[in-house]
Amino acid sequence: MFVNREAQLEELRALAEREAPVLALLYGRRRVGKTFLLDHTWDEDRRFYFLAADTTAEQNRQELLRELASWSKSELSFEDYPTWRTVFRLLADMADVQPLVVVLDEFQYLMGDESVVSQLNAVWDREVGARNLTLVLCGSEVATMEALESGDSPLFGRIGWRERLGPFDYFDAARMVPDRPPREHAYLYGVFGGTPQYLSAIDRGEDLRDAVIRNLLSPRGQVHLQLENIIEQERGIRSTSEYRAVLAAVAAGNTELSRIANAAGLGDRRDAAKRALETLEGLELIRRERNFRPGRTAPWRFRISDNAIRFWYHFVHPNRSQLATDEAERVWDQRVQPALDSYMGKVFEDICREAYSRHHHGWGLPGVTDWSRWEGQDRNRRSIEIDIVAELDDRKLLTGEIKWSTKPKGRDVHLGLLRDLEDLSRSAQAWAREALESTSSQGHIYFSAAGFTADFIEEAGEDDRLYLLDLNDIF
């Protein structure tokens, strides 16, 4: 079953029909479905697929020739193709006989030979000619693959198609585990995130409790084993314990650099914590955000961006001793289930942001140029958090609140937001005044997992500046 990748599937198939050489680039973090996509795009008799290994370039070259000989049913001698340039020339010659698609997966491992890219470029520029060769370079080291398009790369200007494949949003994640009520879809996204391989581990019809215990809490679970070594799987990270400590610190709710460094035991080495955060951000495990319209010195806040990682450090990592003694059911019953709704608060904020991006046209609302939140104090030092402060395409502001609730929300949530905006407008926050004025504001939007009370729904029906959305609207 293809979910979300239909556009990429059709575009890749169209590349091979051009009857001209095309160099394509597909990359993204591990387990987002790159190999699945490439394995299902072309017929095997037209496509040669090679998965490079984390070994020497020489061993990869010999293994490629061995697999190519088997696939093409021809005899190929290692001695006849002693360099990568001769291997690329061989692929070009094979495309002279019939249209050929070549997929070099985990291409970054071939780049152990620093000249491999320049050798590819030499053959591509001078020897491929008009042959019908579609060469797809695929990899999971995002920074390395992106560098192939940089101005100092030999392949600069030669990539004819590129795509960075990412995890699914909440909506496509739900398509991976169909035929469930919206709240359970939200829970599953909060636990497994949008990584296709994690979601595919859930059996059809398997309930939430059993899916989490079997795949994530159990030390033998498929997703547990993958998450357990997620840092070690990334090349170039030496102090893996420090990176794990930084992830755990962010997952525990520490959002600013100094607090993260202290919680990770790196208080006297803030530079190390900063480097770890930057690397984890590049891996899409962490994201940074700031208040709406921040001042020049406003601090960045760091948050876990992958829900599976967030769940791991929130529930699995702190309970690893119990889990190691086969007490997964007890951990679920005593530690996970009682705290799951509290945990889902931040997850639901992400779901609502993704839902607005996906459904705003259907809701009769403009697109967004800046979706943020605001945290701080008013002039009386009262702490205020506003879940949604967004600037729309028409330059108007949209403010609102997001509630992962078990009971319908009434108009008090609206009155609370208006009070916060009024206090902030008196505290030199100009955007708060804009949010209260009809000429500069789109109105106020509220998301509630459990819906809304009848009187609040009635009020919103009479006020076209109030938008009320529940799980059914989102899913």
* pLDDT band with cut points at 50, 70 and 90 for residue 50: very high
Q: Which residues contact 5 (CB under 8 A, 6 or more apart)?
A: 33, 37, 165
Question: Residue 140 corresponds to which tokens in the numbers above?
Answer: 């999971």
Distance CA 291, CA 440 (A): 19
Position 114 scores a pLDDT of 84
Position 1 scores a pLDDT of 66
Pick the CATH number of 6-164 from 3.40.50.300, 3.40.630.30, 3.50.50.60, 3.30.70.100: 3.40.50.300
Percentage of the chain lying above the pLDDT 70 cut: 99
**Greater pLDDT, 475 or 231:** 475
Asked whether residue 24 carries a pLDDT value surpassing 90, the answer given is yes
Length of the chain: 475
Q: Which residues contact 26 (CB under 8 A, 6 or more apart)?
A: 8, 34, 37, 38, 136, 137, 138, 162, 163, 165
Position 113 scores a pLDDT of 85
Asked whether residue 235 carries a pLDDT value surpassing 80, the answer given is no
Asked whether residue 283 carries a pLDDT value surpassing 90, the answer given is no
Asked whether residue 44 carries a pLDDT value surpassing 90, the answer given is no
Of the candidates 115, 208, 201, 202, the residue with the CA atom closest to the CA atom of residue 153: 115
Asked whether residue 230 carries a pLDDT value surpassing 90, the answer given is no
Distance CA 3, CA 116 (A): 34
Q: Which long-range contacts (CB under 8 A, 24 or more apart) does 216-219 make?
A: 216/191, 216/192, 216/308, 216/311, 216/312, 216/316, 217/315, 217/316, 217/323, 217/328, 217/331, 217/332, 217/336, 218/323, 218/328, 219/323, 219/324
Per residue in 313-329, pLDDT tens? 999 999 999 999 989 99
Position 98 scores a pLDDT of 87
Position 19 scores a pLDDT of 83
Position 442 scores a pLDDT of 96
Position 284 scores a pLDDT of 86
* pLDDT band with cut points at 50, 70 and 90 for residue 112: confident
Asked whether residue 219 carries a pLDDT value surpassing 70, the answer given is yes
- Asked whether the domain spanning 362-474 has the same topology as the one spanning 6-164, the reply is no
Distance CA 337, CA 343 (A): 10
Per the CB < 8 A criterion, the answer to whether 178 and 199 are in contact is no
Per residue in 152-208, pLDDT tens? 999 999 999 999 999 999 999 999 999 999 999 999 999 999 999 999 999 999 999
What residue segments make up the domains of the chain, in order of their start? Answer: 6-164, 171-230+285-345, 362-474
Helix (H) or strand (E) holding 6: helix 6-16
Pinpoint the alpha helices (H) of 360-452.
412-425, 430-436
* pLDDT band with cut points at 50, 70 and 90 for residue 232: confident
Say which CATH class 362-474 falls into. alpha beta
Work out whether the CA dihedral 364, 370, 373, 378 comes out positive or negative. Answer: negative
Per the prediction, the chain carries an average pLDDT of 94
Placement of tokens 């330059």 in the chain: 395
Question: Residue 374 corresponds to which tokens in the numbers above?
Answer: 């605001």
Asked whether residue 236 carries a pLDDT value surpassing 80, the answer given is no
Asked whether residue 3 carries a pLDDT value surpassing 90, the answer given is no
Helix (H) or strand (E) holding 158: none
Q: What is the mean pLDDT of residues 406-418?
A: 96
Q: What is the mean pLDDT of residues 270-285?
A: 91
Position 415 scores a pLDDT of 97
Q: What is the mean pLDDT of residues 228-234?
A: 83
Q: What is the mean pLDDT of residues 262-278?
A: 93
Position 237 scores a pLDDT of 80
Q: How many helices (H) and strands (E) does the chain have?
A: 22, 12
